[in-house]
Structure 1
Amino acid sequence: MNMPIRVAAPIALGLAVLTLACAPAALAQVHRSNPGDADAKTVLDTMPGKGKLTVTTPAFKGGEQIPFENTQYRTNTFPGLSWSKGPAGTKSYALIMQDSTLILRGAPILHWTLFNIPAGVTRLDAGMAPTGNPPGSAYGPNYKGASQPYTGPRTPPGPGDMYHFEIFALDTTLPDEAKSDFAALTKAMEGHVLASGEVVGHGIADPDAPPPAPRPAPPKP
């Protein structure tokens, strides 16, 4: 499902960086992945479980376009997710959403993390509000910072990006440090993944969206 694409146009890269609200210094760290790129591997690629979870969303079929309503171009509405029950010993689920096409600082763009989802929960409703996450679960970091709710795609112009909604069944719960530190979250997951699965959607730029607002001019010396 991973469909890496090369786009060399500097304009597309510039728009991508503006879209992600990255500092100008990050421009040199942003690129589109190429076939076989190690830095395009998602967490599911590097930390698969022995078991398989079937993951679906009512918003789109695997590999198809993510509706604009589920992106930052419009209402940023959570599309909803369901997954099959984890194996015996599952104590929690972790959800990680990554863009494997656009690479920032040597890794797929991180859009969303939600961890310590109770073992009895196998569905997140479409339209889930930022405060509607299951009791006991916690939002982790994304590219905007710590403890962030669902942050959908805002794909730059071009052929589009692939967005992975990954679910992991864990035999443990994760520490509070995972709220702010992605490295701590994934480190705590190591050796505890019983099963995993994903649904992948294709995001494109909204042709009706206005251009991004210009960045403020730096203050005069």
Structure 2
Amino acid sequence: MNNTVLEFECIGMDNGSKFPIEYTGRGQDVSPEFVIKNLSPNAKTLAVTLEDLSHPIKDFTHWVIWNIPATDRIKKNIPAGKSVPMLGNAYQGVGYGLHRYAGPKPPKGKKHTYRFTVYSLDCEINISANSMKRNFLKKAEKHIIQKGSIIGEFE
């Protein structure tokens, strides 16, 4: 992996700000739109994870999706399913959202911190959609060209 930070924007949410209600389990629970700013010309695919950094289980995974064809924009409201035809049959793995996006929904009155990470990779990652984030990261480790993160809070 080179050390280039992948710059991206999460539409409706600045780094360090509060999650818009529509992206949460208390709203419409839809995945946000991402605009990729400095994608490497060597990128073949993208992957996105959403983790709850405040959860008792370290970096608790809410969402993991990989094999999105390299692009400068990932549309919002990605539908549930192991395979996502609108994204070149990208795979959604196993997390709090089982083969789907599951936005923040901490216990009432508790503020949790969440992290979106977007990865650019030099290939497709050939693992089952029944894989978890750790399986994806292990297989992707030598293929990650860039990665970047945005932090958000929700209570």
CA offset at residue 78 of structure 1?
A: 2.0
Output the TM-score relative to the length of structure 1: 0.62
Q: Distance in 2 between matches of 1:134 and 1:73?
A: 26
Identity across aligned pairs (percent)? 21
- In structure 1, the partner of 2:131 is 181
Relative to total residues, which structure has the larger helix share, 1 or 2?
1
Q: Distance in 2 between matches of 1:133 and 1:53?
A: 23
CA offset at residue 139 of structure 1?
A: 0.9
For 1:158-169, list aligned pairs within 5 A: 158-169=109-120
Decide whether the 8 Å contact of 1:64 with 1:202 is kept in 2. Answer: yes
In the TM superposition, what whole-angstrom CA distance separates every residue of 1:61-83 from its partner, at most 9, and x where no partner exists? 11111022211112112221111
- For the pair shown, the structure with the greater C-alpha radius of gyration is 1
Q: Which amino acid aligns with 2:153?
A: H
Q: Distance in 2 between matches of 1:87 and 1:62?
A: 22
Output the TM-score relative to the length of structure 2: 0.86
| Aligned with 1:68 (options 14, 17, 21) | 21
Structure 2 residue runs of 5 or longer lacking an equivalent are: none
- Superposed CA RMSD: 2.0
In the TM superposition, what whole-angstrom CA distance separates every residue of 1:201-221 from its partner, at most 9, and x where no partner exists? 1111xxxxxxxxxxxxxxxxx
Determine helix, strand or coil for the equivalent of 2:55.
Answer: strand
- In structure 1, the partner of 2:108 is 157
The structure-2 alpha-carbon separation of the partners of 1:161 and 1:133, relative to structure 1 and needing over 3 Å to count, comes to farther
Q: How many residues align?
A: 151
- In structure 1, the partner of 2:72 is 122
Determine helix, strand or coil for the equivalent of 2:145.
Answer: strand
Relative to total residues, which structure has the larger strand share, 1 or 2?
2
Decide whether the 8 Å contact of 2:9 with 2:37 is kept in 1. Answer: no
| Aligned with 2:88 (options 119, 135, 149) | 135
